[in-house]
Structure 1
């Protein structure tokens, strides 16, 4: 009902993350957001099979009405979640990137960031090989891309899995450690900046395109 002003929100609930991601308004000015909503399998199946009234009620329970009334624009769909990483990212004349190469838990858009880094790294490897007169589809060229991206992908996959397990539960001691940790990060600007860079996908050996540099 009211505009989101480009703001994304993510809440860590016992079943998993719940996030609203801002979209452009429709031509008629309707405010829109995309939803990433993690639930236990049996609950997810019931929600997907429910009518719009039940789904919207459950949605309001999690997001509230701070932006006014909510209406579901499309039928919800559900997919099982898990950490999957391809055994090989490359083969002769083939390179996997984004969700074709890896699937991670949907936390803070890190899967999207990994996809951007894959594409930028692959472009950089291909352009540099072409300048050297090499066959850009040769396995030894594409393996440079795989070596560049594989460790970062594995590291991020494990990190998102651990974060999901840490935040998406109601275990008292873990909640206490979690809250203390978040409080410390909020009070330490350098540490906070570090986590912001991590979440923005700008940590590690960042491809030139993601830094706004020409290849």
Structure 2
């Protein structure tokens, strides 16, 4: 028997699952398909991976009913300190601090453990009568044309949809099948992520330290995982030259913790890495277009950026917000949710904003990844100047809120 839906989403990661949930919460008949079974995605123990959910991304999670199912309260980011420095040395005194209350809000964003978001998604997905979940299952596109899309799943189930959404990540098979090309930029850096416990409280403040080989971010967590040697915890996002990062990743926990301490200003006291450490090559990716006939790309299938601004996942959530609103409005009006006109509106809404963010993060990476003395001095003076120019500082604060 063939299942008929308005939208079929391939990929049940954070962006794909959120989109499918947001659609179903608004009464749109949808299906979400993922090659992996959902329960193992729900990590039973702390593994060090966390997401910075911007203020602008939270509404889609709330509207979809996901936020209320987070198993623990997320940690608000109430201030962000920006500094320039060098490993093992105190940061420059020409720094910059953003405070949420100065912008009239309670937080710039919230830190959510990856496992917590998965728990919330897995709790919410089965609650929606308008949503069918197929996992584990793979999808073969039998037809994608003017009349719609026909899929055959590895389970034997056939699905017809008016719109197909690719949410399978940077290597998106659906994007390749549609012949959509991508531009890539290799930063020749590795990003290292994880978490560490620390002696002193973070006060819900994040630190963005610009080091010669790449940025280092400390992001506050709500609590330290059980068994931690210290009562407080933060996540870290650390980028460095590939050869250096590989050496760092090969260190034992004690030595790696000492390297972390060299890159923080000392305000957190003693530190110790907790959970697993992860690393991945840093690159930028951008699809030549976000749509094809009856197909929309969202999240990393459409774009990938440098983590310097912490906005990669949030860009995907904004994709989900825009597409869900367009599709829900079309279905409510009795219009075609996969029409060329709707897809053109989606691309017009999302592509320029993403191009701007790609350009901004690339410029920041080039500016703040330069250790040349005069450039470093100019950078520090620039940071200090922003701290003293109210309208400019508020513009940066709004950008941080996503």
With the shorter chain as reference, the TM-score category is: 0.7 to 0.9
**Structure with greater helix percent:** 1
Greater relative contact order (Cα 8 A, min sep 6): structure 1 or 2? 2
Q: Which runs of 5+ in 2 are unaligned?
A: 1-198
Over aligned residues, Cα RMSD in angstroms? 2.0
Please list, as runs of the form range in 1=range in 2, the aligned pairs for 1:13-28 lying within 5 A after superposition: 13-26=211-224, 28=226
Change (3 A) 1:186 1:87: same
Question: Aligned partners of 2:286, 2:260: CA distance in 1, in Å?
Answer: 31
Aligned 8 A contact 1:56 1:72 in 2: yes
Give the match for residue 121 of structure 1: 322
Q: Which of 69, 94, 102 is equivalent to 2:270?
A: 69
Aligned to 1:89: 290
Q: What runs of 5+ residues in structure 1 fail to find an aligned partner?
A: 202-215
Of Structure 1 and Structure 2, which has the larger fraction of its residues in strand?
Answer: 2
Query: Structure 1 length normalisation: TM-score?
Result: 0.84
Structure 2 matches for 1:1-215, cutoff 5 A?
1-26=199-224, 28=226, 30-201=231-402
Please report the TM-score for the alignment, with normalisation by the length of structure 2: 0.47
User: How many pairs are equivalent?
Assistant: 201
CA distance in 2, matches of 1:37, 1:101: 24
Deviates further, 131-140 or 192-201: 131-140
C-alpha distance in 1 between matches for 2:250 and 2:324: 42
**Which residue number corresponds to residue 210 of structure 1?**
none
Deviations 1:90-143 (A, max 9, x none): 334443222232111112322233223222212221122223211213343223
Task: Work out whether residues 7 and 21 of structure 1, in 8 Å CA contact, stay in contact via their aligned partners in 2.
Answer: yes
| Secondary structure in structure 2 of the residue aligned to 1:45 | helix
Give 1:39 deviation, angstroms.
0.6
Whether the aligned pair in 2 keeps the contact of 1:8 and 1:19 (CA below 8 Å) is yes
